[in-house]
Amino acid sequence: MNTISNMTMKIGNLYSSVTDGKIVSDIDLQRDIVYDGDKQSLVIDSILNDIPLPAFYMWKNSDGILEVLDGKQRIEAIKKFRQNDLKYNNKIWKEIGPAMQTKFNDTELSVIICGGDEQLKHEIFRRINTLGVPLSAYEVLNGLYHGEYLEELTDFCNLPTMVRIFGSNSRGRNQIHFLKWLMVLDKKKPSNDEITNYVKTKKDSTFDYDKNRMNPYLKFVRDVFTDTSLVDTYFELALKYQKDFTIWKMHRDEINSMIKSFKKSADWKLITDKKGELEDRIQAIVGGISVDPKRLFTADDKESLLASLTPTDGKYQCKACKQMFYPSELTVDHVTPWSKGGRTVLSNAQLLCAACNSSKGNRL
């Protein structure tokens, strides 16, 4: 007979039942521990600040043991805290004091206990993990700091011009993208914490100031590029080349044709610094420079270059810093940058270590 019942359980009782084996969270259906230390601490913070945790789903097996269908991650956080293996506000369990310990242990959790045949058990687990939709980053942000600023930001990000830049908007995706770019503009790390702190201060302010600050760069991305899959790279280029907007826009068709071809080429998979490579290629286009169709030196080119040099104890000299490196630590670089018309031939090749190659960029 299939049964489902609702009850409450104090955390102290839940912890005792887990340690006594009356509640088992490590079952085949459950995933491994995925909460990091910050998320586990957030569970403890929620408990001690009277913020309800989601309901725990458990399955009562034929032996009367409760198997955890949903809540393993939260239980693991509770266990670690009780066992002095997790800190909250830089204190472990034995350091938080009797009053907080009592509050913690007496906090009641909502528990749903199910029982019956194995098919029901698997169906409940499947539905728990497929029907629940976590809040998006923007939905969390809006829930915390809904106000004039986010209302105006949302209206702006739903405009056709913004959809043209970022792609279709879904659950605040474009708002988060905009805010990340804003953090980059302000030379801050585009992290969730930075965004949250910023929006917190702007909650009841108008969005107009930030919109006006961002408009030149948004216009650059919108009017120059057509592919939305690389918008973060395009924004970084817009920040760097805003003064050259007019000439970049003049070459818009050539730039986008190049990007389309480049993404389909073998070079796309081989080149790690795609932003730097796109920048070089665009600079060649806007500078009217005729570039060598062959972009990269091959492994055979490197072998030929090494064969023309004399090693010392199996090492070769970096042309820039003059330090000695093994062949695998060196890259073949254009003496005259490819984007400035340098040909991909051995007479225009030099060996550089990774650090020197990275710092050289496309400078002569």
- At 306-323, the pLDDT tens digits run 999 999 999 999 999 999
Closest CA relative to residue 258, chosen from 242, 273, 277, 271: 277
Considering the domain architecture, whether residues 41 and 74 belong to the same structural domain is answered as yes
Considering the domain architecture, whether residues 152 and 216 belong to the same structural domain is answered as yes
In a domain, 359, yes or no: yes
pLDDT score, position 15 = 96
Considering the domain architecture, whether residues 147 and 117 belong to the same structural domain is answered as no
- 68-117 tens-digit pLDDT: 988 888 999 999 999 999 998 999 999 999 999 999 999 999 999 999 88
Considering the domain architecture, whether residues 29 and 120 belong to the same structural domain is answered as yes
Q: Which domain holds residue 232?
A: 137-254
- 202-243 tens-digit pLDDT: 999 999 999 999 999 999 999 999 988 889 999 999 999 999
In a domain, 200, yes or no: yes
pLDDT score, position 353 = 92
In a domain, 269, yes or no: no
In a domain, 270, yes or no: no
pLDDT score, position 142 = 87
CATH number for the domain including 343? 1.10.30
Q: What is the mean pLDDT of residues 347-354?
A: 90
Q: Over 90: is that where the pLDDT of 157 sits?
A: yes
Considering the domain architecture, whether residues 229 and 321 belong to the same structural domain is answered as no
pLDDT score, position 292 = 74
Considering the domain architecture, whether residues 56 and 91 belong to the same structural domain is answered as yes
Q: Over 60: is that where the pLDDT of 271 sits?
A: yes
Number of domains within the chain: 3
The domain boundary, picked from 254, 273, 299, lies at 254
Split at pLDDT 50, 70, 90, the class of 362 is low
Residue scoring higher pLDDT (189 or 364): 189
Considering the domain architecture, whether residues 121 and 144 belong to the same structural domain is answered as no
- 57-78 tens-digit pLDDT: 999 998 999 999 888 889 999 9
In a domain, 267, yes or no: no
Closest CA relative to residue 88, chosen from 125, 136, 47: 47
Averaged pLDDT score across all residues of the chain: 89
Q: Which segment of 125-139, 209-223, 233-247, 343-357 scores lowest on mean pLDDT?
A: 125-139
d(CA 33, CA 40) in angstroms, rounded, equals 10
Considering the domain architecture, whether residues 18 and 127 belong to the same structural domain is answered as yes
Considering the domain architecture, whether residues 210 and 245 belong to the same structural domain is answered as yes
Considering the domain architecture, whether residues 147 and 208 belong to the same structural domain is answered as yes
Closest CA relative to residue 326, chosen from 314, 336, 310: 314
Contact 337, 362 (CB under 8 A): yes
Considering the domain architecture, whether residues 212 and 297 belong to the same structural domain is answered as no
Considering the domain architecture, whether residues 245 and 143 belong to the same structural domain is answered as yes
Split at pLDDT 50, 70, 90, the class of 29 is low
In a domain, 266, yes or no: no
In a domain, 260, yes or no: no
Q: What is the mean pLDDT of residues 158-163?
A: 92
The domain boundary, picked from 69, 104, 131, lies at 131
pLDDT score, position 229 = 84
Q: Over 70: is that where the pLDDT of 364 sits?
A: no
d(CA 13, CA 283) in angstroms, rounded, equals 67
In a domain, 219, yes or no: yes
The domain boundary, picked from 131, 153, 188, lies at 131
